[in-house]
Structure 1
Amino acid sequence: MKLERAFDFLYHQLETQPRHDCLSTRKGKQWHTLSTPEVVETVNRVSHGFIKLGINRGDRVAIVADNSTEWVLVDLALQQIGAISVPLYPTITVEDATYILMHAGVKMAFAGTAAMQRKVHDALGKLTCPIYSFADIEGVSSWREVEALGADGDDIMLAGLRDSIRADDVFTIIYTSGTTGRSKGVMLSHRNVVSTVTATAEHTGLPEGKLRALSFLPLSHIFERAGVYYYMSSGTSIYFAGVEQLSNALQEVHPHTFSAVPRVLEKLYEKLAGKASELSGNKKKLYLWALEMAENFDPNVKMGLWQKAQYALADKLIFSKWRTALGGELKWINVGSAALQPRLARLMWACGIMVAEGYGMTECSPVISANLFDADKVRIGSVGVPLPHVEVKIADDGEILVRGPNVMVGYYKDAEQTAETIIDGWLHTGDIGKMADGVLTITDRKKEMFKTSNGKYIAPQVIENKLKESAFIDQVMVVGDGQKFAGALIVPLFDKLKEWCAQQGIAYTSDAEMTHNPKVQALIDREVKRFNRYFGNWEHVKKFALLEKPWCVDKGELAPTLKLRRKVITQHCRDLIDSLYQHHPA
Structure 2
Amino acid sequence: MNVAFLLGIASPFSGRQLNNNTTGNEKIILKKQVLLSNGCCNIVYRVTPTNCKLAKDQWKAAEKNEKTFQANSNEWSDKELLPKHPNGNGLYHLLTNKFKPTKEKWTQDGKKRQETLLNLFFDNVQGLNGVQNRVALAKRSRDGTWYKWTWKQYGELVVKTANGLLALGFTYGDHVTILSANCPEWLFADLATMCLGGSTAGIYPNDVAEQIVFINQNFDAKFFFVDSLKQLVRLKPFLNQLTKLIYIIVLSLETDNQEERDMVETDSRIISYARLLELGKTYSERSPNYVEENARKITPDTFCMTVYTSGTTGQPKGACYSHQNIYCVGTTIAEELNCQGRDILLSFLPLCHVAERIQSLFLAIAGKCSVYFAESIQRVREELPQVRPTIFMCVPRVWEKLYQALQAEFETTTGMKRHLLHQTLLFGRLARLHRNYGKSISRAAMFEWLILSLLVVRKIRVTIGLDRCHTFASGAAPLSEEVAMFFGDLGMDVRQVYGQSESTGIIAYSPKRAIRPGNTGKVPSVIQVKLGDNNEILCKGPNVFLGYYKDPGASKTALDEDGYLHTGDVGMFDEEGFLWVTDRLKDLIKTAGGKFVAPQKIENRLKMYPGISHVVVIGDRRPYCVALITLDESQLKNICTKAQIIVQPVEEVVKNRKVLQLVDSYVQQVNDGLASYEQIKYYKLLPEDFTIEREEMTPTLKIRRKQIEQRYKEWIDSMYSVASSGSS
Q: TM class by shorter-chain length?
A: 0.7 to 0.9
Shift of 1:149: 0.7
1:384 and 1:529 map into 2 onto residues whose CA distance is: 30
Q: 1:226 matched to which residue of 2?
A: 358
- Alpha-carbon distance in 1 for matches of 2:458, 2:688: 48
How far did 1:403 drift?
A: 0.4
SS in 2 for 1:182: coil
Aligned to 2:381: 247
1:175 to 287, 308, 317: 308
**Whose relative contact order is higher, 1 or 2, with alpha carbons under 8 Å and at least 6 apart?**
1
CA contact under 8 A between 1:411 and 1:418: conserved in structure 2?
Answer: yes
Q: Counterpart of 1:263?
A: 397
Output the CA distance in 1 between the equivalents of 2:122 and 2:381.
Answer: 32
Residues 425 and 490, structure 2, Cα contact 8 Å, conserved in 1: no
Q: Which residue, 251, 256, 259 being the options, matches 1:134?
A: 251
Q: Which amino acid aligns with 1:329?
A: R
1:353–1:516 Cα change, 3 Å? closer
Aligned pair partner of 1:445 in 559, 584, 600:
584
Instruction: State whether residues 339 and 368 of structure 2, in contact with CA within 8 Å, keep that contact through their aligned partners in structure 1.
Output: no
Which of the numbers 278, 296, 299 marks the counterpart of 1:148?
278
- The alpha-carbon deviation at position 132 of structure 1 amounts to 2.3
Is the alpha carbon distance of 1:157 and 1:75 closer, same or farther for their aligned partners in structure 2, counting shifts above 3 Å?
same
Please tell me the residue identity of whatever aligns with 2:564: W
- The yes-or-no answer on 1:383 pairing with 2:520 is yes
Quote the offset at 1:205 in angstroms. 3.6
User: CA–CA distance in 2 between the matches of 1:387 and 1:34?
Assistant: 33
Tell me if the contact between 2:530 and 2:537 (Cα under 8 Å) persists in the aligned partners: yes
| SS of residue paired to 1:235 | coil
> What residue in structure 2 maps to residue 161 of structure 1?
294
Mapped to 1, the partners of 2:488 and 2:616 lie a distance apart of 31
Deviations 1:455-506 (A, max 9, x none): xxxxxxxxxxxxxxxxxxxxxx999965654647699xxxxxxxxxxxxxxx
Match of 1:20 among 130, 134, 142: 134
RMSD over aligned Cα, in angstroms? 3.7
Query: Distance in 1 between the 2:331 and 2:691 partners?
Result: 47
1:392 equivalent in structure 2? 529
1:61 is matched with which residue? 176
Match of 1:411 among 538, 542, 548: 548
* 2:420 counterpart letter in structure 1: L
Cα-to-partner distance string for 1:524-567 (whole Å, 9 max, x where unaligned)? 97999999846667557599655546489xxxxxxxxxxxxxxx
SS in 1 for 2:350: coil
- TM-score, length basis structure 1: 0.77
* 1:214 alignment partner AA: L
Give CA deviations for 1:66-125 in whole Å, capped at 9, x if unaligned.
Answer: 221111111111110012111012222223222212211211212224443334545545
**Partner secondary structure for residue 384 of structure 1:** coil
Indicate the residue corresponding to 2:147 in structure 1.
Answer: 32
Q: Which range is displaced more, 306-315 or 19-28?
A: 306-315
Q: Quick check: 1:336–1:359 contact (8 Å CA) kept in 2?
A: yes
The answer to whether the 8 A contact 1:200-1:387 is kept is: no
Q: Which amino acid aligns with 2:177?
A: A
Q: Which amino acid aligns with 1:361?
A: Q
Percent of aligned pairs with the same amino acid? 26
Question: SS at 1:23's partner residue?
Answer: strand
User: 1:281 aligns to what?
Assistant: 415
1:76 aligns with 2:203: no
Which residue pairs with 1:558 in the alignment? none
Query: C-alpha offsets along residues 243-287 of structure 1, whole Å, 9 cap, x if unaligned?
Result: 233234322222211211111111111121111244333323433
Q: Secondary structure at the match of 1:155?
A: coil
Instruction: Please point out which of 417, 421, 429 is paired with 2:558.
Output: 421
Aligned AA (1:92): D
d(CA) in 2 for partners of 1:250, 1:197: 24
Partners of 2:588 and 2:249 lie apart in 1 by 34
Matching residue of 2:343: 211
Q: 1:196 to 1:120 in 2, by over 3 A?
A: farther
Give the equivalent residue in structure 2 for 1:304: 442
Unaligned runs of 5+ in 2: 1-106, 108-112, 256-260, 265-270, 590-598, 608-612, 621-653, 658-684
In structure 1, distance between residues paired with 2:691 and 2:198: 40
CA contact (8 A) 2:307 2:353 kept: yes
Alpha-carbon distance in 2 for matches of 1:392, 1:166: 26
Q: Give the aligned partner of residue 10 of structure 1.
A: 121
1:432 pairs with 558, 563, 570, which one? Answer: 570
Summarize deviations over 1:312-348 as a string: whole Å, max 9, x none.
3432332111121224211112211011122322333
Question: In 2, Cα distance between the equivalents of 1:86 and 1:132?
Answer: 15
Map residues 482-493 of structure 1 onto 2, 5 A cutoff.
485=614, 487=616
Letter in 2 for 1:379: R
Partner of 2:158: 43
Give the alignment partner of residue 506 of structure 2, picking from 367, 387, 391: 367
Does structure 1 conserve the Cα–Cα contact (< 8 Å) formed by 2:226 and 2:248?
yes
SS in 1 for 2:225: strand
Q: Highest Rg: 1 or 2?
A: 2
- Provide the residue aligned with 2:33 in structure 1: none
**Distance in 1, Cα, partners of 2:337 & 2:583:** 31
CA contact (8 A) 1:93 1:535 kept: no
CA deviations over 1:28-77 (Å, ceiling 9, x no partner): 41211111111111111110000111222222211112221111111111
Give the drift of 1:206.
2.0
**What's the CA shift string for 1:420-471, capped at 9, x where partnerless?**
1100211100000001232101012112399xxxxxxxxxxxxxxxxxxxxx
In 1, Cα distance between the equivalents of 2:522 and 2:135? 33
Q: In the alignment, residue 151 of structure 1 is paired with which amino acid?
A: K
Helix, strand or coil: the match of 2:309? strand
Query: Which piece of structure 1 moves more, 39-48 or 178-187?
Result: 178-187
| Superposition deviation, residue 517 in structure 1 | 12
Quick check: 537-546 or 77-86, which moved more? Answer: 537-546
The structural deviation recorded for 1:200 is 1.8
In the aligned structure 2, how far is the partner of 1:387 from the partner of 1:199? 8
**1:197 Cα offset (Å):** 1.4
Moved more, 319-328 or 32-41: 319-328
Q: How many residues are paired up? A: 502
Is this contact kept in 1: 2:118–2:296, CA < 8 A? no
**Is the 8 Å Cα contact of residues 493 and 515 (structure 2) preserved in structure 1?**
no
Cα distance in 1 for residues equivalent to 2:177 and 2:391 = 29
* Residues 190, 200 of structure 2: 8 Å contact kept: yes
Whether 1:402 and 2:532 are equivalent positions in the alignment is: no
1:86 and 2:201 aligned:
yes
